[in-house]
Structures are given as C-alpha cells and as structure tokens.
C-alpha cells in the first residue's frame, strides 16, 4: 500500500459546482497536511496548511482532516474556471520536517 | 518575500549530453533547498536537498548530481543524460510548506 493515495481523475465539473478532492494515507504518524495547486507547466503553490484533525477555511476553500479515518479532503465552493489545475495533497510527520510525502495529484477542470 | 528563479523553462537534450539546471533564491538567507522531479503519473520525487553551501544529500541513487556553490544557488547536473531523466524539475525551499520555482521541463530524446 502506498503511503499516500490520491485519485488522479480527471475530474470535470460545471462552473459553480462544489468540488471535493480527497487523499487517504497509511501512516498514522502524519500530523501536518497540505494542499497544493499546480497550473499546467508551473510549479505547485501552497493552498492550505493544516495540523491534525479538523477543518480550516480560507475563502472558497476548506481543508478537512480526519485522522481516525486517515482521510483528508479539500472542498472548493462556487468553483471557477480559474480553479482548473492539478491539486496535490502532501503530509509530513512534524511541522518542521521538510520531507513531505505527496499524492500524485488530481486534475480538475471547471467548465464555464 | 522569498522568490525562486529557475531556468531554462524548457529544455530538449539528446541522450548522452550533459545537463546543468540552475536555481537561485531571493528574499531569504541560508535556506534549505530542494530539487524535485515530477514525472507523468509518478508524482513528486525528492532528488536532493541542501542545508548549506557544499552540503548535499541525495534521496535516490541516479544519474544526477547536485551542488550548492553559494548560499542562494542550487545546481542540478548530469554528465550523460538518459531517456529516463525526462521530466519536470522543480527547485524549492521550505518554510511551513514548500515554495516551488516555476520548473524546467526536460525532454531527453
């Protein structure tokens, strides 16, 4: 079993839809969880950074962590065509640890 | 704010040719720097990281090497490229999550 599993998609939704992106992981010691957005031919950019279980909201984006299920989610409300990108989850053992384990990314297309 | 510069953006090289990719950082000093490779369907793979000048750690044995001749400069090299070296190469620094450069898309033909 891979450490981090992420459905590669592709996922195609109409503009305005609620998008749910998910990752599962096997190492229960992971504590810090991140979501990155990567536009085509660009480097990933950090979108959300969360610690342990719970929700974190930033504008139209909500990151959710369920450590008991080893499951993290990113929700995008009122999705826009500009949200079309690949979304990667990442996690590590300690906040200061720089060795992140990445998911392979989910490609999202939001159609106008 | 910290900025990472990477060049070139795109590179097509023949098998057996040498490689040199450069990454420079602005807006921070003594950063920890990283080289990642992103291959289609394989996600992000950590290749090298450096905690200071002349200090390089390799995560996977391979055809590549890295050097850090200056505090804010990180170089990825190869003496002879293989087809399997094709991919998207990203330089990054870490501070509560990674800041990535814009990447170099390398195609070995």
> For the segment B9-65, what is each residue's pLDDT rounded down to a tens digit?
999 999 999 999 999 999 888 888 999 999 877 788 889 999 999 999 988 767 899
| Cα of B40 to nearest chain A Cα, Å | 9
* Tens of pLDDT, residues A98-110: 778 899 999 999 9
Look at the alpha carbons of B50, B56, B59, B64 in this order and tell me if their dihedral is positive or negative: positive
Which residues lie below 8 Å from residue B71, measured CB to CB, with a gap of 6+? B29, B30, B31, B52, B53
Contact B96 A99 (CB under 8 A): no
Q: β-pairing, A61-66 with A71-76? A: antiparallel
Phi, psi dihedral angles at B41 (to 5 degrees) = 75, 5
CA atoms within 13 A on the CB side of B10: 1
Q: How far apart are the first and last CA of chain B?
A: 38
Residues 70-109 of B with CB under 8 A from A: 90, 92, 94, 96-103, 105
Q: Which residue of A has its CA nearest to B39?
A: A104
């Amino acid at each position: 079993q891979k450490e981090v599993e992420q459905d590669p998609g592709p996922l195609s939704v109409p503009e305005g839809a609620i998008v749910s992106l998910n990752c599962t992981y096997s190492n229960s010691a992971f504590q810090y969880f991140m979501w990155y957005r990567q536009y085509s031919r660009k480097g990933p950019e950090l979108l959300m950074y969360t610690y342990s279980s719970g929700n974190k909201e930033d504008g139209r984006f909500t990151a959710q962590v369920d450590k008991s299920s080893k499951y993290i989610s990113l929700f995008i409300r009122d999705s826009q065509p500009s949200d079309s990108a690949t979304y990667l989850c990442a996690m590590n053992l300690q906040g200061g640890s720089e060795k992140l384990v990445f998911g392979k990314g989910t490609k999202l297309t939001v159609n106008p | 704010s910290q900025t990472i510069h990477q060049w070139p953006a795109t590179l097509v090289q023949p098998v057996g040719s040498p490689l040199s990719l450069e990454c420079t950082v602005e807006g921070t000093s003594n950063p920890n720097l990283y080289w990642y490779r992103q291959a289609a369907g394989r996600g992000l793979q950590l290749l090298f990281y450096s905690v200071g000048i002349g200090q390089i750690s390799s995560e996977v044995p391979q055809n590549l090497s890295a050097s850090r001749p200056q505090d804010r400069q990180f170089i990825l090299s190869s003496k002879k490229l293989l087809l399997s070296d094709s991919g998207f190469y990203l330089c990054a620094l870490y501070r509560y999550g990674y800041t990535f450069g814009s990447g170099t898309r390398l195609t070995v033909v």
